[in-house]
Amino acid sequence: MKTMTLQPDLTVSAVALGCMRLAAVELSKAEELIDTALEAGITYFDHADIYGDGESERRFGQVLARRPSLRERMLVQTKCGIRPGRYDFSKEHIIASAEGSLKRLGVDRLDALLLHRPDTLMEPEEVAEAFDNLHSRGLVRYFGVSNHSAGQMRLLGAALSQPLLFNQLQFGPAHTGLVDVGLHVNMTDEGSVMHDDGLLEYCRLHRVTIQPWSPFQRGFIAGPFFGSGQYPALEETLSRLAAEKGATPTALTVAWILRHPARMQPVVGTMNPDRLRQAAAGAEVPLSREEWYEIYRAAGNTIP
């Protein structure tokens, strides 16, 4: 598994395991999945306090309680800020959420804490106080955001003592908005509409690692594009290229994301060990520039 060094003491696997669905998995199956991830070279595990209403973190913690030595082989990330019917970046909530996640996960430190979705009532100085509190107490090593625009990151970053190392964003062959606008500059078609204030370029300039979530999904969590009947050309192209390379369409999808020169770390949320192995294998599949654009066009995207 390829790795990326983000800080002198922070090296992450090129692919992360998203643990949103872990609450629905029996303990023995959860343990098998974590073992599969580690064996495949995936050492980064992504959580959120709201996944399974906290049960996904708790299930992960149950595995660690049975096998504490696993903690030394992994990096654990979680997210906070979503509450029923609202978002909450108050100092009190961020600190309480992080402490709650630590307890459920059964760890004494989070490798990263991300703010889950933008809170329009955010006070950057208050967030900074929360981050400083958690960092100075040794509870959180690094910080980031999820689903934030470039402007929101600039606003928050101006008050922080710590850099924002991550932004978790939806991206994949069937959800390409992150790159569309950069290919349609000076056009008047739909692809030219900028929704995110040049987010891809901002992250590249500031060396923010983009963590694509739901890389196999279409729309906003509308289901996998594989087998949906809505992307026949994309499925055919991925299958053909996969066969040529001795890989699988799942691996090719991951390879397509990793081929982009922006620093990306796809978050794969499958609970199927075999599919997880396929996704991990994508980190080793080379793609040419021509093949990348062929997959992009097959998804229904146009090149001006």
pLDDT of 173 above 80? yes
Which helix (H) or strand (E) segment holds residue 131: the answer is helix 124-136
State the total domains in the chain.
1
Quick one: pLDDT at residue 98?
98
Q: Say whether pLDDT at 201 is over 90.
A: yes
Q: If we measure between CA atoms, which residue out of 123, 191, 188, 130 comes closest to residue 162?
A: 130
* Tokens at 240, concatenated: 């053909």
Residue 96 clears pLDDT 80, i.e. is over it: yes
Inside any domain, residue 248: no
Residue 286 identity: P
Instruction: Write out pLDDT tens, residues 222-280.
Output: 789 999 999 999 999 999 999 999 999 999 999 999 999 999 999 999 999 999 999 99
Beta strands in the chain (DSSP E): 3-7, 10-13, 16-18, 44-46, 75-80, 82-83, 86-87, 110-115, 140-146, 164-170, 209-213, 267-268
Tell me which residue has tokens 């056009």.
187
Q: Which residues are catalytic?
A: 51
* Residue where the block lists tokens 């790795």: 3
Task: Single out the residue of 98, 109, 92 nearest to residue 48, CA to CA.
Answer: 98
% of residues, the chain, pLDDT over 70: 100
Asked, for residue 72, whether it belongs to a domain, the answer is yes
Residue 201 lies in a domain: yes
Cβ atoms of residues 127 and 91 within 8 Å? yes
pLDDT, residue 222, reads 78
pLDDT of residue 93: 98
Strands (E), 161-301: 164-170, 209-213, 267-268
Q: Is 106 helix (H, G, I), strand (E, B) or coil?
A: coil
**β-strand pairing of 110-115 with 140-146:** parallel
Residue 71: domain span? 3-232+261-283
212 has a pLDDT exceeding 90: yes
- Residue at 300 is within a domain: no
- Whether 46 maps to a domain, the answer reads yes
CATH number of the domain that residue 277 is part of: 3.20.20.100
pLDDT averaged over every residue in the chain: 96
Using alpha carbons, list the distances in angstroms from residue 296 to 65, 117, 183, 210, 232. 43, 27, 11, 19, 13
pLDDT given at position 210: 98
What is the tens place of the pLDDT at every residue in 16-63? 999 999 999 999 999 999 999 999 999 999 999 999 999 999 999 999
Residue 220's pLDDT band, with cuts at 50, 70 and 90, is confident
Q: Is 149 inside a domain boundary?
A: yes
61 and 104 Cβ atoms separated by less than 8 Å: yes
Question: Does pLDDT of 221 surpass 80?
Answer: no
CA 268 to chain centre: 8
Max CA separation in the chain (angstroms): 57
Residue 253 falls inside a structural domain: no
Q: What is the mean pLDDT of residues 185-203?
A: 90
In a domain, 247, yes or no: no
